[in-house]
Chains A and B, each alone.
Chain A
Amino acid sequence: MTQLILYNVFNGLITGAFYALMALGLSLILNLSGVINFAHGGFLALGAYLAFVLTPHIGFWGALLLSPVLTAAVGVLVERVLIRPLYGRDPLYSLLLTFGLAFIFEDGTRFIWGPATLPFSIPQWLSTPLSSQFFFLTGYRLFMVLLVTGTVVALFVILTFSRLGVRIRAGTVDLETVSALGVNVRVLRSLNFGLGIYLAALAGVLAAGMLGLQPTIGTDLIMPSFVAIIIGGLGSLPGTLLGGLLIGVASGLTTVFFPSATEAVIYVLMALVLLVRPRGLLGEEGRF
């Protein structure tokens, strides 16, 4: 039993890490541009499938490096052409636009690569279990945890210390002032969008290694990411991280005791947070 619980908590942490990576990207875009990027899951899928295409040519490691960068470039392009005209308008429109994009992404991947699950090969030495007692502790899973941790740390370092990061955070609080101080807000928003998409695509490549490739791979992750943001508190990136890990572990534990509620439990958690602490766990008071 202990092992079962341990297994599911670990599993939950990994799921939570995916939610967190995805939700952090969503949060970045939401905070700076006020856009709920429904197509975020589509970008995740794009990252995964690009890695699938690239792997035979440049190997797993090359794909892991290159695919998120390429996807982020696509993201910046989409932001420039489609989303930029909608800044400053009712958020309804950007929501509908990205909603439509999500459809196109999902259907497009299905059209190109087919509806069936495709295998995504990872290096042999990563897929072997590390210990016979804790069979679930494969090298790949450990590697994912390490990589996600490293990425998140890097993200927070960038946001805290680099010039770009400081500007992004400042823009989140008061974009007008940042603009008045001579920062090119358009470029800032584009870079920020690209950064968010980069995180999504990275999550996509990692998820592909664990679950294989499916056109719905991103769509399935988008709702939990919303929940992670709401639980953590809108506007707070550490909150988003916490929210993601929390719902991951919560649904992992629910799998042990009440499997059919695995998906529903995170929404119950969200309702509780909204009831007790409407601004979210780490959200600022009075912002929304």
Chain B
Amino acid sequence: MPRLHRRAADVIVWLLLLSTPYWINAVGGYTQLGSRVLILALAAMSLNFLLGYTGVLSFGHAAYFGLGVYGAGLTIKYLVPSTVLGIGVGILAGAAAAAVLGALIVHLRGIYFAMVTIAIGQVFYFIAYRWNNVTGGDDGLSGWSRQPIDFGFGTLDIVRGDKAFYYTALVCFAVAVGIMAAVLRSPFGRTLLAIRENERRARFLGIPVDQHIWLSWVISCTFVSLAGTLYALLNNFADPHDLRWDQSGDFVIMAVLGGMRSFWGPLVGASIFVVLEDYVSSQTENWMSFVGLFFVIIVLFFRRGVLGMLRRQSAAP
């Protein structure tokens, strides 16, 4: 895509995101739904950093998302009632777990890597599910809520103001997405693309492939846990299902649906997925079948994703 087009796309995306709370009600949505799209889009974009730009298939990102969710929830409930600290602890928990587990698995490839990430992810699910007296078990962690953010010179009330929370999340989103975009433009980011395109050749060029994949994995998981902390704050609740394997699948399908090879693809995918899920689950009990059908249809007919197809159309004469 020409540079000018990409610039234009960036501007349009940011304008849309900045104005969301002012038009979402008019089109039948609500601000909270906007926040949800934003947060899950951040998770899907972080996953895509690894999936689309490094070419590594992780099917266990919900674990790190969930570590963010529970990190924030447990901190605010038991330690300090501070939103900022909750976010910090959540990210730290996710990043630390990713760093340790990543070292264990980065030398695995392809479906083997996918399978191991799925299985490892389940450990965290079972911990949250079984450790009743701390995590609330199957009922989830409730009895806490996000706190106003104190800047020293004034406080930002994100507790009652849906818009205030949306913009707080948007700031986090912008920082995370900005960092990921910058990393992808850096020489390191270019080596990730090289690994994706041809790992053997990258190795011959002297790129320490395993180390680079590890770093990409940790970056990806860190931002996924950031999304997790925001998700916990949005719901004022931590649900064990947030770290189950079906959640990982949701992230992957968002990335695929929007287009794995486009930077904004997962955002588009997340918007479609979340809005559709919101609608279907309000209409029928059997939303699981619809989600499943959705998966099948995407894989069979929309493998390139929405943006991938748009790009192909505009490239055609």
Using a CB–CB distance below 8 Å, which chain A residues touch chain B?
A: 30, 34, 36, 82, 85-86, 89-97, 99-104, 106-108, 111, 223, 226-227, 229-230, 234, 260-261, 263-264, 267-268, 270-271, 274-275, 278, 288
A92 touches B112 (CB 8 A): no
4 extra interface residue pairs, beta carbon distance < 8 Å, beyond A91-B114, A96-B249, A278-B108 = A30-B111, A96-B298, A99-B249, A264-B126
Q: Which residues from chain A contact B123 at a C-beta distance below 8 Å?
A: 264, 267-268
Say whether, besides A96-B252, A96-B298, A274-B105, A103 and B289 are in contact (CB < 8 Å). Answer: yes
11 residue pairs from A and B, CB less than 8 Å apart: A96-B295, A99-B292, A101-B295, A101-B296, A103-B288, A103-B289, A230-B119, A234-B112, A267-B123, A274-B105, A275-B104
Q: Are A226 and B104 in contact (CB under 8 A)?
A: no
Write out, one digit per residue, whether chain B residues 47-60 have a CB within 8 A of any chain A CB (1) or not (0).
Answer: 00001000001010
Tell me if B184 is interfacial: C-beta within 8 Å of chain A: no
In the bound complex, how far is the Cα of B122 from the Cα of A51, in angstroms? 30
Given contacts A230-B119, A278-B107, contact A100 B293 (CB under 8 A): yes
Once A99-B249, A101-B296, A107-B289 are accepted as A-B contacts, the answer to whether A92 and B119 lie under 8 Å apart by CB is: no
Q: Interface SS of chain A: helix, strand, loop or mixed?
A: helix
Contact call A274/B104, Cβ cutoff below 8 A:
yes
Inter-subunit contact B296/A288 (CB<8 Å)? no
B104 touches A271 (CB 8 A): yes
Which of A34, A100, A229, A275 has the most chain B CB within a 10 Å cutoff? Answer: A100
A80 to B: closest C-beta gap in Å: 13
- Residues on B facing A (Cβ under 8 Å): 51, 57, 59, 104-105, 107-112, 114-116, 118-120, 122-123, 126-127, 130-131, 245-246, 249, 252-253, 256, 286, 288-289, 291-296, 298-300, 303
A102-B292 contact in complex given A85-B300, A107-B286, A230-B115, C-beta closer than 8 Å: yes
Question: What 4 A-B pairs are tightest by C-beta distance, nearest first?
Answer: A100-B295, A103-B292, A107-B288, A104-B292
Q: Are A223 and B291 in contact (CB-based, < 8 A)? A: no
> Is there contact, CB below 8 Å, between A223 and B118?
yes
Tell me whether A36 and B296 are in contact in the complex, defined as CB-CB below 8 angstroms, given that A100-B291, A226-B118, A267-B119 are known contacts: no
Q: Which single residue of chain B is at the shortest CB-CB distance from A235? A: B112
Q: When the two chains form their complex, are residues A95 and B303 in contact, meaning their CB atoms are under 8 A apart? A: no
Compute how far the CA of A31 lies from the CA of B111 in the bound complex, rounded to whole angstroms.
11
A99's partner among B57, B115, B286, B295 (CB-CB below 8 A) is B295
Complex Cα spacing A171 to B59, Å: 27
Instruction: Verify B116–A100 contact, CB threshold 8 A.
Output: no
Which residues of the other chain, A, contact B111 by a CB distance below 8 angstroms? 30, 34, 36, 91, 95
Q: Does the CB pair B115–A106 fall under 8 Å?
A: no
Docked Cα-Cα span, A34 to B112, in Å, equals 10
Distance between Cα atoms of A167 and B128 in the complex (Å): 45
For A260, the chain B residues whose CB sits under 8 A away are: 130-131
Contact A36:B115 (CB < 8 A) given known A91-B57, A99-B249: yes
- Determine if A95 and B114 form an interchain contact, defined as CB atoms under 8 angstroms apart: yes
Which residue from chain B places its CB closest to the CB of A90 in the assembled complex? B57
Contact in complex: A229, B115 (CB < 8 Å): yes
Bound together, the chains give a CA A229 to CA B293 distance in angstroms of: 28
Known: A111-B289, A223-B119, A270-B119. A82 touches B300 (CB 8 A): yes
Residues of B near A226 (CB, < 8 A) are 115, 118-119
* Given A91-B111, A275-B104, A288-B110, A267-B126 contact (CB < 8 Å): yes
Bound-state Cα–Cα, A106 to B292, Å: 10
Is the beta-carbon distance between B292 and A101 smaller than 8 angstroms?
yes
A279 to chain B, nearest CB (A): 10
CA distance A107 to B296 in the complex (A): 15
Residues of B within 8 A of A278 (CB): 107-108
Q: Do B126 and A93 touch (CB < 8 A)?
A: no
Given A91-B57, A108-B289, A288-B109: A267 in contact with B115 (beta carbons within 8 A):
no
What is the CB-to-nearest-CB distance from A107 to chain B, in angstroms, rounded to a whole number? 4
Q: Cα distance A94–B292 when bound, in Å? A: 13
